[in-house]
Structure 1
Amino acid sequence: MKNILKLAFMLFSAITFAQAGHIMQGVGSVNMSMGGASTAQPIDISGALQWNPAAISTFDNKILNFDLGLFFSSPELSSSYGPLTGVTEDDRGVSPMPALAMVWGNEESKHTFGVSAFGISGFGVTFPQNNNYPQDRMGNVNPNFDQSAPVNPINFPQMAGGFGHLESDYMLLQVGFTWAYEISDNFSVGIQPTINYGALELAPNPIASPSQTLGYPESDKASAIGIGAQIGVYYESDGGFKLGASYKTTQSFGDLEFKNTYLDGSAAPDVSFNMDYPAILSFGTGYSNETIDIALDYRMVDYENTDGFAEKGWEIAESGQMAGFPTGAVNGFGWKNINILSVGLQYKGIEKMPLRVGYTYSSNPIDEELAFFSTPATAVIANAFQLGFGYEINENFTLNGVFHYGKSDGKTSGSLLNPTPAVDFNGDGMPDGPWDATSNPLGVVPNSEVGYEMSTSMIMLGFSYTFKE
């Protein structure tokens, strides 16, 4: 099963970047163009399969959707320490975003079935190392330091107190199998078991404890399988008003097992980390007539009860010389729950060419004091705007497209943190760190700041094919 999911992952979800926390706001051209709103407005099968399994009951034919987008992001990572301040731009480039879905419906049957393969979650950054540092951690002056050249303390080499080259790559493919049942002409219920494949790569790997001499190691790409489910209800009145609700359970994953290597090529201890996908509660309303379709969705994403996101701060050693003190390994992101509001409008007044606009708002899951821990996952977009269209080539085939632009709500920022307290661990008579673990448990570095902000854009095209007898 893991090999099958890995193959599907490679084919349909090469790289995915999230918009709301680490969650995609929508799937496919149509749903994205509606801002992701579809809990009570099933305009297309992809949006219905993603956000409310009961809503696929509105489709009375066998329908196939395939979409492929090109996603562009421009994260910027900034930091300052005393007089040293600078910004590093991401150099990852363009990323593909595919989505595949199919529904089997029949007007004579109360049962509707669907299957989907969506990249629903992800984050990734590539910030190059900044070698223009004034001195290393031992106080040795860098003879090549240029005061007129760009600096960024967080991207200084590890031996100079920074993270060096900072890179992350997280992707999650979700395969869903959906069944909906029409209890009446107006009311449906649905259920969707889900199987997930996730993969994460980190450089350096903050989940591992650093070596005093070699720093943090880099990891290979670790993967894990997860399972979960989604249930939903859908109601459509005879007058065109619609209501919907769904609950996607926590997608529970096995541990990610990392193989680590220090920067000098030597082997580092392996570590494991559990990172689940959060539960999502969605409510929606909609209205349709001959000319327009309106959709409004609200979602709550439960990060605060999700492994990998609920935990925060540094790992504390339970035994040995470091007992009671931070090891330097990170417990988790420490994210808060977020609220997402999506709204979309489809105008059908032009024959065979519906036009769509959408907007999505997401609150920020990252607390100021924990901003440092989320530098590998900076893809938090507060405001996203979409403009899309459809073109009905014939009664079977429809072409869809969307343009997306998103931007963070200013800069997410906090202090730089140092996990090493002022304790003489190596017995040389000198403290190994600059701060007191009792009064400063996170290791806040005075007169420092780390921050990140970004904008995103995407062009996506897709087709919908209806198999009519």
Structure 2
Amino acid sequence: MNSFIPKFLFLLFSISSLAQSGHIMQGVGSVNMSMGGAATAQPLDISGALQWNPATVSTFDGTILNFDIGLFFSSPTLYSTVPEFDNSGQPTGNFFSGMTEDDRGISPMPALALVWGKEDSKHTFGFSAFGISGFGVTFPESMTNPINMPQSMGGFGRIESDYMLLQIGLTYAYEISDKFSVGVQPTFNFASLELMPNPTANPNGSGYPSTDKATATGIGAQIGLFYDSRTGFKAGASYKTTQSFQDFEFNNVHLDNSTASNSFNMDYPAIYSVGLGYSKSDFDIALDYRLVDYENTDGFSTTGWTQTASVKGFGWENIDIISVGVQYKGVEKLPLRLGYTYSSNPINEDVAFFNIPATAIIKNAFQFGLTYEASERFSLNAMYHHGDSGGKTSGQILNPMFAQSYPPYGAIPGSNVSYDMTTDLVMVGFKYIFNK
């Protein structure tokens, strides 16, 4: 029974997460997503509080349950261009270009949160199960796009990826005074990763292999501080440590049916968050800034080719995330919310080629949400999100055989690979207060 529960939660929640900010979800649940993910100093709901600042759960009394489910739509497009050569190997001056659209379809996105504590107690506790991270694309094999041509013809064939991370958090917050709280949250993580073809494996004469879906577990923690002036102004800060994972162990099958295995380590980056909040009359305003430390995270900090032509890592830069949200409570029993999220791009042009399996980079995200307060104990939440990548992520096609002539990664002269995408999300959920 003890092993069944985490496996069930993993199956339920890990299918959900297709990320927005790097490979990180910008928010959790209908309310927090509709505020652009801003919650470090403005705890409007328990899901956002548990995700971004464990100290803020001290503002909630009683036993509160949140559950949300969403439908996520994404539309990545992959473009590539290569120079054409004649029979003697000389460039003709012509170029072969094409594009491939993703056919992944719809992904579900659930979130579960629970907080409990007595009104006259300084202690508050929480439990959360969130799909907090992921990426995934499915670009079918194509004879009209060079990058998706069969490996026997110099392309990669069908390109498919599926990364998912479920995080379970156990939260404790202590109210030092009526204005100041601290919180701590140990976190337990389950992740799966599938890559086709698998660039982290050594290729053989037939190319890069396909692989099974590998899983790994990891641990980490989050700590937070929260100040509420009781005059409307609020401030908060939190630090989520690197989530340290075991290696993913892949069982690979090459196109010639030979088999091999390899391992790859990919941790979840540390996140630093600071936030401001202001509540007055019918308005709640939230502003968050986050720094995501990819540059010191295994799997993202290194890049390039190994001596056996496998890929070392994604080579991502640190990113900045700005989230802002406004809630208006002037309509009886119907709070309305608007949110915006900006995220910088962790992928520079030198490593765009290595990141074809992880194209889910959204620069601008816009959200609208509302709550219907059916009773003192029960509320229904809904939100809509639209995001876009703000243009293409672009770079040259790389080949390890060219690394000596065109360092550092072997860029093919005259080539190009690029990708962009839009995302849409519809989410609904409920809040239920068991006692107050």
In structure 1, runs of 5+ residues without a counterpart are 133-150, 317-326, 421-434
Alignment of 1:351-430 (within 5 A): 351-420=332-401
Pairing partner for 1:271 from 255, 258, 262: 262
Residues 61-108 of structure 1 show CA distances to partners (whole Å, capped at 9, x for unaligned) of 100000000000000000000210011000000000000000002111
Partner of 1:88: 100
Using structure 2 for the length normalisation, give the TM-score: 0.96
SS in 1 for 2:306: strand
How high is the TM-score relative to the length of structure 1?
A: 0.89
2:134–2:163 contact (8 Å) kept in structure 1: yes
| Contact 2:403 2:409 (8 Å CA) reproduced | no
The Cα shift of 1:193 comes to 0.1
Q: Distance in 2 between matches of 1:384 and 1:238?
A: 31
Residue among 247, 250, 254 paired with 2:242: 250
Q: Does 1:460 align with 2:416?
A: no
How far apart are residue 290 of structure 1 and its match? 2.4
Q: Letter of the 2:238 partner, please give it.
A: S
Distance across 1 between alignment mates of 2:290 and 2:131: 19
Q: How does 1:323-342 map to 2 (within 5 A)?
A: 327-342=308-323
In the alignment, structure 1 residue 60 sits paired with structure 2 residue 27: no
Could you tell me which of 114, 127, 140 is aligned with 1:102?
114
Q: How does 1:8-407 map to 2 (within 5 A)?
A: 8-82=9-83, 83-130=95-142, 132=143, 151-212=144-205, 214-264=206-256, 266-316=257-307, 327-407=308-388
CA-CA distance at 1:3 after TM superposition:
5.6
1:330-369 C-alpha deviation (Å, 9 max, x unpaired) = 0000000000000000000011100000000000000101
CA positional deviation for 1:24:
0.1
Tell me the SS of whatever aligns to 1:330.
coil
Query: Moved runs in structure 1, 4+ residues, more than 6 A?
Result: none
Please tell me whether residue 448 in structure 1 is matched to residue 429 in structure 2: no
8 Å CA contact 2:170, 2:187 repeated in 1: yes
Residue 59 (structure 1) shift: 0.1
Task: Give the letter aligned to residue 294 of structure 1.
Answer: I
Distance in 2, Cα, partners of 1:299 & 1:39: 10
Structure number with bigger Rg: 1
Q: Determine the C-alpha separation between the residues in 1 that align with 2:250 and 2:166.
A: 19
Q: Is the 8 A contact 2:210 2:254 kept in 1?
A: yes
CA distance in 2, matches of 1:385, 1:237: 30
Instruction: Encode CA deviations 1:141-182: one digit per residue, 9 max, x unaligned.
Output: xxxxxxxxxx11100100000000000000000000000000
- Specify every segment of 5 or more residues in structure 2 that has no aligned partner in the other structure, as ranges: 84-94
* Cα pair distance change 1:126/1:292, threshold 3 Å: same
* Mean CA deviation greater in 441-450 or 374-383: 441-450
Q: Could you tell me how far apart the structure 2 residues matched to 1:436 and 1:90 are?
A: 30
Matched position secondary structure for 2:276: strand
Instruction: Supply the distance in 1 between the matched residues of 2:328 and 2:9 (Cα, whole angstroms).
Output: 35
Single out whichever of 296-305 and 100-109 deviates more from structure 2.
Answer: 100-109
Amino acid at match of 1:18: A
Q: One-letter code of the match for 2:187? A: T
Give the whole-Å Cα distance in 1 for the aligned partners of 2:301 and 2:239.
Answer: 20
2:69 is paired with a residue whose SS is strand
1:12 & 1:393 partners in 2: Cα distance? 27
- In the alignment, the residues of structure 2 paired with residue 334 and residue 59 of structure 1 have an alpha-carbon distance, to the nearest angstrom, of 41
Asked if the contact 2:40/2:52 (under 8 Å) is kept, the reply is yes
Give, in whole Å, the separation in 1 of the partners of 2:98 and 2:49.
44
- Give the partner amino acid of 1:456: T
| Structure 1 counterpart SS, 2:185 | strand
Name the stretch that deviates more: 12-21 or 375-384: 12-21
CA-CA distance at 1:295 after TM superposition: 0.1
CA-atom RMSD, angstroms? Answer: 1.1
- 1:187 deviates by 0.2
For the residue of structure 1 that corresponds to 2:261, the secondary structure is: strand
d(CA) in 1 for partners of 2:300 and 2:66? 33
| 8 Å CA contact 1:13, 1:99 repeated in 2 | no
- Deviation of 1:4 after TM superposition, in Å, equals 4.1
The whole-number CA distance in structure 1 between the counterparts of 2:140 and 2:366 is 30
CA contact (8 A) 2:214 2:250 kept: yes
Quick one: structure 1 residues 407 and 439, their matched pair in 2 at CA, closer, same or farther if it must change by over 3 Å? closer
Deviations 1:224-246 (A, max 9, x none): 00000000000000211000000
| Structure 2: distance between partners of 1:12 and 1:254 | 20
Using the alignment, how far apart are the partners of 1:288 and 1:436 within structure 2? 57
Distance 1:290 1:105 in 2: 26
Letter of the 1:168 partner, please give it.
Answer: S
Task: Please state how far the C-alpha of 1:14 moved relative to its aligned partner.
Answer: 1.9
Alignment length (residue pairs): 424
The CA deviation string for residues 122-141 of structure 1, in whole angstroms up to 9 with x for no partner, is 000000001x3xxxxxxxxx
Contact 2:403 2:411 in 1 (8 A): no
Report sequence identity in percent.
Answer: 66
Residue 15 of structure 1, CA deviation:
2.8
